[in-house]
Protein backbone atom coordinates (compact mmCIF):
# COMPACT_ATOMS: atom_id res chain seq x y z
CA UNK A 1 0.00 0.00 0.00
CA UNK A 2 1.38 3.38 -0.99
CA UNK A 3 1.69 6.27 1.47
CA UNK A 4 0.05 9.61 0.83
CA UNK A 5 3.34 11.49 0.89
CA UNK A 6 5.74 10.99 -1.97
CA UNK A 7 8.63 12.12 0.29
CA UNK A 8 10.57 9.40 2.06
CA UNK A 9 10.10 9.42 5.89
CA UNK A 10 13.74 10.41 6.61
CA UNK A 11 13.45 13.49 4.41
CA UNK A 12 10.06 14.48 5.92
CA UNK A 13 11.58 14.38 9.45
CA UNK A 14 14.34 16.78 8.33
CA UNK A 15 11.74 19.25 7.00
CA UNK A 16 9.83 19.16 10.31
CA UNK A 17 13.01 19.86 12.29
CA UNK A 18 13.85 22.77 9.98
CA UNK A 19 10.35 24.24 10.42
CA UNK A 20 10.61 23.94 14.22
CA UNK A 21 14.05 25.64 14.25
CA UNK A 22 12.82 28.45 11.99
CA UNK A 23 9.76 28.97 14.18
CA UNK A 24 11.91 29.05 17.32
CA UNK A 25 14.27 31.60 15.75
CA UNK A 26 11.29 33.74 14.77
CA UNK A 27 9.87 33.62 18.31
CA UNK A 28 13.25 34.55 19.83
CA UNK A 29 13.73 37.44 17.39
CA UNK A 30 10.22 38.76 18.07
CA UNK A 31 10.83 38.58 21.83
CA UNK A 32 14.11 40.47 21.55
CA UNK A 33 12.47 43.13 19.39
CA UNK A 34 9.57 43.51 21.82
CA UNK A 35 11.86 43.84 24.86
CA UNK A 36 14.01 46.44 23.13
CA UNK A 37 10.94 48.56 22.39
CA UNK A 38 9.64 48.65 25.95
CA UNK A 39 10.30 51.74 28.03
CA UNK A 40 11.54 51.60 31.61
CA UNK A 41 9.18 52.42 34.44
CA UNK A 42 8.83 55.96 35.72
CA UNK A 43 10.66 54.89 38.88
CA UNK A 44 13.49 53.56 36.75
CA UNK A 45 13.70 56.83 34.85
CA UNK A 46 13.79 58.80 38.11
CA UNK A 47 16.55 56.60 39.51
CA UNK A 48 18.47 56.73 36.22
CA UNK A 49 18.28 60.52 36.08
CA UNK A 50 19.35 61.04 39.67
CA UNK A 51 22.16 58.49 39.39
CA UNK A 52 23.60 60.12 36.27
CA UNK A 53 23.02 63.71 37.38
CA UNK A 54 25.89 65.88 36.22
CA UNK A 55 26.65 68.60 38.77
CA UNK A 56 27.70 70.92 35.94
CA UNK A 57 24.12 70.96 34.65
CA UNK A 58 22.70 72.10 37.97
CA UNK A 59 25.08 74.34 39.87
CA UNK A 60 27.42 76.34 37.71
CA UNK A 61 29.74 79.22 38.52
CA UNK A 62 27.58 81.40 36.23
CA UNK A 63 24.57 80.89 38.50
CA UNK A 64 26.43 82.18 41.53
CA UNK A 65 25.71 85.84 42.03
CA UNK A 66 27.55 86.50 45.27
CA UNK A 67 29.33 89.83 44.90
CA UNK A 68 30.41 90.10 48.53
CA UNK A 69 33.93 91.11 49.52
CA UNK A 70 34.67 87.57 50.76
CA UNK A 71 36.51 85.23 48.38
CA UNK A 72 34.26 83.03 46.23
CA UNK A 73 35.30 79.86 48.09
CA UNK A 74 33.98 81.44 51.30
CA UNK A 75 30.43 82.10 50.07
CA UNK A 76 27.80 79.52 51.10
CA UNK A 77 26.61 79.24 47.49
CA UNK A 78 30.12 78.41 46.27
CA UNK A 79 30.58 75.92 49.11
CA UNK A 80 27.31 74.26 48.13
CA UNK A 81 28.47 74.02 44.52
CA UNK A 82 31.72 72.34 45.53
CA UNK A 83 29.95 69.92 47.88
CA UNK A 84 27.41 69.12 45.16
CA UNK A 85 30.17 68.34 42.67
CA UNK A 86 31.63 65.95 45.24
CA UNK A 87 28.19 64.31 45.63
CA UNK A 88 27.94 65.41 49.26
CA UNK A 89 24.29 66.35 48.88
CA UNK A 90 23.39 66.62 52.57
CA UNK A 91 26.26 69.02 53.27
CA UNK A 92 25.49 70.96 50.08
CA UNK A 93 21.90 71.39 51.23
CA UNK A 94 23.09 72.76 54.57
CA UNK A 95 25.40 75.20 52.79
CA UNK A 96 22.56 76.37 50.52
CA UNK A 97 20.41 77.10 53.55
CA UNK A 98 23.13 79.49 54.77
CA UNK A 99 22.85 81.72 51.67
CA UNK A 100 21.71 85.21 52.77
CA UNK A 101 18.12 86.17 51.93
CA UNK A 102 19.16 88.99 49.58
CA UNK A 103 21.12 86.50 47.45
CA UNK A 104 18.20 84.12 46.87
CA UNK A 105 17.19 84.20 43.20
CA UNK A 106 15.82 81.74 40.65
CA UNK A 107 19.16 79.92 40.40
CA UNK A 108 19.21 79.51 44.17
CA UNK A 109 15.68 78.06 44.32
CA UNK A 110 16.40 75.77 41.35
CA UNK A 111 19.53 74.36 42.97
CA UNK A 112 17.84 74.16 46.37
CA UNK A 113 14.94 72.19 44.86
CA UNK A 114 17.30 69.72 43.19
CA UNK A 115 19.24 69.29 46.43
CA UNK A 116 16.04 68.64 48.38
CA UNK A 117 15.08 66.01 45.78
CA UNK A 118 18.50 64.37 46.02
CA UNK A 119 18.13 64.31 49.81
CA UNK A 120 14.77 62.51 49.43
CA UNK A 121 12.68 65.46 50.54
CA UNK A 122 10.37 65.91 47.54
CA UNK A 123 7.78 68.07 49.32
CA UNK A 124 10.45 70.65 50.14
CA UNK A 125 11.77 70.35 46.57
CA UNK A 126 8.32 71.27 45.24
CA UNK A 127 8.12 74.27 47.58
CA UNK A 128 11.55 75.55 46.50
CA UNK A 129 10.98 75.02 42.77
CA UNK A 130 7.59 76.73 42.87
CA UNK A 131 9.25 79.90 44.16
CA UNK A 132 11.08 80.30 40.85
CA UNK A 133 9.81 82.92 38.42
CA UNK A 134 11.77 81.60 35.43
CA UNK A 135 11.36 78.02 34.22
CA UNK A 136 15.07 77.49 33.34
CA UNK A 137 14.10 76.24 29.87
CA UNK A 138 12.03 73.41 31.28
CA UNK A 139 14.36 72.35 34.09
CA UNK A 140 11.95 73.67 36.70
CA UNK A 141 9.14 71.58 35.23
CA UNK A 142 11.30 68.45 34.95
CA UNK A 143 12.38 68.56 38.60
CA UNK A 144 8.85 69.42 39.73
CA UNK A 145 7.63 66.35 37.83
CA UNK A 146 10.26 64.15 39.51
CA UNK A 147 9.33 65.58 42.91
CA UNK A 148 5.61 65.03 42.36
CA UNK A 149 6.32 61.49 41.18
CA UNK A 150 8.33 60.82 44.34
CA UNK A 151 5.35 62.11 46.35
CA UNK A 152 2.98 59.80 44.45
CA UNK A 153 1.12 62.74 42.87
CA UNK A 154 0.93 61.34 39.33
CA UNK A 155 -1.57 63.91 38.00
CA UNK A 156 0.68 66.80 39.00
CA UNK A 157 3.66 64.87 37.65
CA UNK A 158 2.03 64.53 34.22
CA UNK A 159 1.07 68.21 34.22
CA UNK A 160 4.68 69.26 34.82
CA UNK A 161 5.95 66.78 32.21
CA UNK A 162 3.62 68.35 29.63
CA UNK A 163 5.00 71.77 30.57
CA UNK A 164 8.55 70.46 30.14
CA UNK A 165 7.60 69.15 26.68
CA UNK A 166 6.49 72.62 25.62
CA UNK A 167 9.25 74.64 27.31
CA UNK A 168 11.65 76.60 25.08
CA UNK A 169 14.70 74.46 25.91
CA UNK A 170 15.18 71.07 24.29
CA UNK A 171 17.18 69.46 27.10
CA UNK A 172 14.17 68.07 28.97
CA UNK A 173 11.85 67.12 26.11
CA UNK A 174 13.16 63.62 25.46
CA UNK A 175 13.22 62.77 29.16
CA UNK A 176 9.72 64.16 29.66
CA UNK A 177 8.42 62.19 26.67
CA UNK A 178 9.98 58.96 27.97
CA UNK A 179 8.57 59.44 31.45
CA UNK A 180 5.09 60.25 30.14
CA UNK A 181 5.20 57.08 28.11
CA UNK A 182 6.31 55.11 31.17
CA UNK A 183 3.49 56.57 33.27
CA UNK A 184 0.99 55.46 30.64
- Report, as an integer, the average pLDDT of 78-89: 88
Q: Please state the rounded mean pLDDT for residues 94-102.
A: 90
Note the pLDDT tens digit of each residue in 169-180.
777 888 899 999
Cα dist from 49 to 43, 52, 69, 97, 112, whole Å: 10, 5, 37, 24, 17
pLDDT higher at 122 or 14: 122
Alpha-carbon 129 to chain mean position: 17
* Percent of the chain residues topping a pLDDT of 90: 33
Is residue 70 packed enough to be buried (19+ CB in 10 Å), middle (13-18) or exposed (0-12)?
A: exposed
User: What pLDDT is stored for residue 134 in this prediction?
Assistant: 81
- Flag whether pLDDT at 123 surpasses 90: yes
- Of the listed ranges 13-17, 65-69, 132-136, 148-152, the least confidently predicted one is 65-69
Rounded mean pLDDT, 36-54:
55
Mean pLDDT of 19-38: 49
- Mean pLDDT confidence for 99-116: 90
Amino acid sequence: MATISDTPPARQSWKNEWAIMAGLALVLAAGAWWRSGTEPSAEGLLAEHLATLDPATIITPDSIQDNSAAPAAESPHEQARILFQNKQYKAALQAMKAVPAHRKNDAYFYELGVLYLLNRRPAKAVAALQRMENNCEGGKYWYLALSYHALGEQDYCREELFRALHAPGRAWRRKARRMLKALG
